[in-house]
Each structure stands twice: as C-alpha cells, then as structure tokens.
C-alpha cells in the first residue's frame, strides 16, 4: 500500500489529476480521499519556505582558509 499526500488544484471542470506511482499504473487502484480547503500562504510562511530551499545559504557560509590545518595544541600528539 502506498500513501500519497498532495495538494492539487482543480481544473476548470472540477477534475483533479493525481500522480500515481509506477507500480500502481497497471491495474485497478482504490483511492480514499479527504478533501479540505488549503489556506492561502501568508507572506511570513512564504519567506520561511524560501529560506528552506536548497542552496539558500550559498555565499553565506564560509570556512577559514586554515580549516584543515592541525591546531597548534595537537601537533605534539601527532608526532
């Protein structure tokens, strides 16, 4: 059994198009649906979603040039 969670927009005629996994495309499928309205996103939630996107911290994180160097305190232990 597969569980699909999706937010779908209805077509002009009121139909919904549900993505079906490949293994279920070649036979009969039972669909159990709960329909409820989804609230419109607020500007604050849209801003939070933008922060979670992959690559959103690009250019904001840096590493010191000597990151891989052995700290002075540990050099005597490494000989």
For residue range 12-35, what is the model confidence (pLDDT) as tens digits? 888 888 888 888 888 888 888 888
Percent of the chain with pLDDT over 70: 80
Q: Does 2 or 33 have the greater pLDDT score?
A: 33
Can you give the pLDDT at residue 7? 78
Domain boundaries, the chain: 1-8+16-35
Helix and strand counts by DSSP (H, E) for the chain: 1, 0
Residue 50 banded pLDDT, cuts 50, 70, 90? low
For 63-77, what is each residue's pLDDT tens digit? Answer: 888 888 888 888 888
The Cα–Cα gap between 17 and 11 comes to 8
Determine the Cα–Cα distance for residues 69 and 71; give it in Å rounded to an integer: 6
């Amino acid at each position: 059994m597969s569980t699909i969670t999706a937010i779908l927009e209805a077509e002009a005629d009121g139909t919904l198009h549900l993505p079906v996994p490949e293994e279920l495309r070649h036979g009969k499928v039972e669909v159990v649906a709960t329909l409820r309205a989804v609230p419109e996103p607020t500007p604050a939630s849209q801003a939070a979603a933008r922060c979670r996107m992959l690559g959103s911290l690009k250019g904001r994180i840096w590493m010191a040039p000597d990151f891989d160097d052995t700290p002075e305190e540990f050099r005597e232990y490494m000989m």
